[in-house]
Amino acid sequence: MHRRTFFFGGLAGLAGCRRSSQPRLNVYNWSNYIGPNTVAEFERQTGIRVRYGIFESSDELLAKALTGNCGWDVVFPTNHHVAPLRDYNLLAPLDHSRLPNLQNLASDFRAPEWDPQLQHSVPYMSTSAGIVYDRRQLGTLSRWADLWEAKVEGRMTMLDAQDDVLGACLVKLGHSWNSTAESELRAAQREAIRQKPLLRAYLNAEVRDQVVAGDVLAAQMWTTTMLPVMASAPQLDFVYPAEGFVRYAESAVVLRESPRQEAAHRFINFLLQPEIAAACVAAEKTGPVLAGVRELLPSELRDHPLLFPAPQDLARGVWLRTMPPSAQRLRDRLWTEIKSA
Amino acid sequence: MKRLRLAFLAPSALLLATLFLAPLVIVAVYSLESRGAYGGVTPPFTLESYSRILDPLYLKILWRSFWVAGVSTLLCLLLGFPLALFISRSGPRRGLYLQLVMLPFWTSFLIRTYAWMFLLRDTGLINTALLATGLISEPLPLLYNDFAVILGLVYGFLPFMVLPLYTTLEKLDPALLEAAADLGAPPWPALARVTLPLCRPGILAGSILVFIPCLGAYLTPDLMGGGKSIMIGTLVQNQFTTSRDWPFGAALSFSLMALTLGLLYIVSKRSRGEDLL
């Protein structure tokens, strides 16, 4: 595809690069979030050398990017961090003429609510969080409210992340996951404190082993984290809770300060090919954002509910939103109160 | 001669000034600015971050941190003193024992903490063994509570107690204990009235070396405590990550530093002549 684009793009990249004879690109992504050969394939096709760095949390990325001069060209914030980066004038506007593969985006991701015109970001992968639980020990769970039941006492964990804990409490109470209303947030905080005696711990991905081993019977967890072990632990089930759940989309953005805009666009355009995306999805078990990827996946992933929730489940999902500073501040405080309660 | 001395001192002075003093000044300036909308700092200058620390919520966290650090230090002392005494009286094997005390430093603290988590969890070695012997019928809750946090801190910082204690005990003149025995003091009173008082500098140095890092620890409380309670170190870290409230984080760390220095000053005043600072 588009060999000519690559050729001229390569020339432009060469011309734009003064110091090194070989064009170079600095890519900063989540750890374990790309196919094993994706970068090598890009380098082979384009002759652009890639320096690939990884981060472990969105906050780490944001903290680095906000200080400026971080030296990365393409980075992958989660959807709710796109607005802060844009407002700080850190993002380069995307040139859609250099991203012909945008046409491969699935309809859900063509006009996402956080960047409807895809002016600064392009969706890359999508994931969500729900409840993973031991069906043999607990029976069927279907709601967040089940995590307030005595039967999970001492054997249940929530994510160690304020958006996720407050969000689950908010939807349990019938409010919006992304609520900014003080009264609703305070009610959610009380709900979280009420849950604490039943809680074993607030744990992120590290809880996975304990869920598989049976130490923990129910956990609020990301689909991406659980999917690789679901097949080997038949007692486990995953539910998108009835009250609603959150979705995240990792997005590719180009930093404004990057002197390698051309190469950065080429990298993003490269990722927007179904074959490339399918390899990333198969390797990382994270939901695709492109049409035509599902058909390319191995059969055990093609219909996996953790990658492709049923339409009636998906309808309850909401995208995590950027909080206005005042709501963010209140949430921070409530979270600290929950922690020290 | 004087010039030569200066020449040798210059690199370390420069290093300290750029890598220690400069970041400190930056933190001080940050702590006086206002919070940026999504992180960072903006003008105007304000003392608001400092006044927020007096909020009961944060004072409670501070108090909890002091309590956990204090208990951990005391346990380190109770465990470390007999150990240091034993090593100092072990003759030619002293070197070997000291090596063993320091052996854990050869592995990353993070990995050792994870190893503890594997030991302590429900399906971990300890609970599995106890269940197999029939001593217990339900796994003991060993992980994700204050017990686990303090265990992790004591384990991590015990060597910092043992080493200074050993140094003072090793310098102790055996003739003093012989004199005590000659004057009719049995071993225990001699320990309490001769060895312990003479060990004061070691006890103080060890306690400070343990207490201060325990106070600011965030890795152990987070991993072993399961994020259910919060210590000051985690609070500071949160301000720079999830909360993105840099001025408050800077003010917190600065206040903690001032508090620690104040305590050190008081301790050193009360133990006249023993250089601590």
DSSP type of residue A306: T
Determine whether the interchain pair B144/A201 forms a contact, defined as Cβ–Cβ distance below 8 Å: yes
Asked if A79 and A251 count as a contact pair (C-beta separation under 8 A), the reply is yes
| For testing contact with chain A, the best of B145, B224, B242 (most A CBs within 10 A) | B242
B273 vs A271, which has greater pLDDT? A271
Question: Residue A143's pLDDT is what?
Answer: 96
**Would you call A246 helix, strand, or coil by DSSP?**
strand
Task: Answer whether residue A34 shows pLDDT above 80.
Answer: yes
Of B37, B144, B241, the CB nearest to A325: B37
Contacts of B179 (CB under 8 A, 6+ apart): none
Mean pLDDT of B48-56: 89
Determine whether the interchain pair A340/B230 forms a contact, defined as Cβ–Cβ distance below 8 Å: yes
Confidence tier at A6 by pLDDT (50, 70, 90): very low
| For testing contact with chain A, the best of B120, B228, B234 (most A CBs within 10 A) | B228
Task: Answer whether residue A63 shows pLDDT above 80.
Answer: no
To the nearest 10°, report the CA torsion of B11, B13, B18, B23: 150
Q: How many CB atoms lie within 10 A of CB A292?
A: 14
Determine whether the interchain pair B241/A57 forms a contact, defined as Cβ–Cβ distance below 8 Å: yes
Task: Answer whether residue A112 shows pLDDT above 60.
Answer: yes
Confidence tier at A84 by pLDDT (50, 70, 90): confident
Task: Answer whether residue B275 shows pLDDT above 60.
Answer: no
Question: Residue A136's pLDDT is what?
Answer: 93
pLDDT digit string (tens) for B225-265? 988 888 999 899 888 887 888 899 999 999 998 888 888 88
Percentage with pLDDT > 90 across chain A? 69
- Per-residue burial over B152-191, b = 16 or more CB atoms within 10 Å of its CB, e = otherwise: bbbbbbbbbbbbbbbebbeebeeeebeebeeeebeeeebb
pLDDT digit string (tens) for B105-136? 888 888 999 999 989 988 889 999 999 998 88
Determine whether the interchain pair B38/A66 forms a contact, defined as Cβ–Cβ distance below 8 Å: yes
- Give how far the C-alpha of residue B265 lies from the chain's centroid of Cα atoms, to the nearest Å: 17
Task: Answer whether residue B272 shows pLDDT above 80.
Answer: no
Determine whether the interchain pair A329/B245 forms a contact, defined as Cβ–Cβ distance below 8 Å: yes
A283 vs B276, which has greater pLDDT? A283
Question: Residue B176's pLDDT is what?
Answer: 87
pLDDT digit string (tens) for A256-285? 989 999 999 999 999 999 999 999 999 888
Least confident of A30-34, A184-188, B116-120, B139-143: A30-34
pLDDT digit string (tens) for A134-157? 999 999 999 999 999 999 999 999
Question: Residue B45's pLDDT is what?
Answer: 86
**Structure token pair of residue A28:** 């900063």
Mean pLDDT of chain B: 88
Give me the amino acid identity at A236.
L
Residue B121: list chain A partners with CB under 8 A: 210, 213, 215
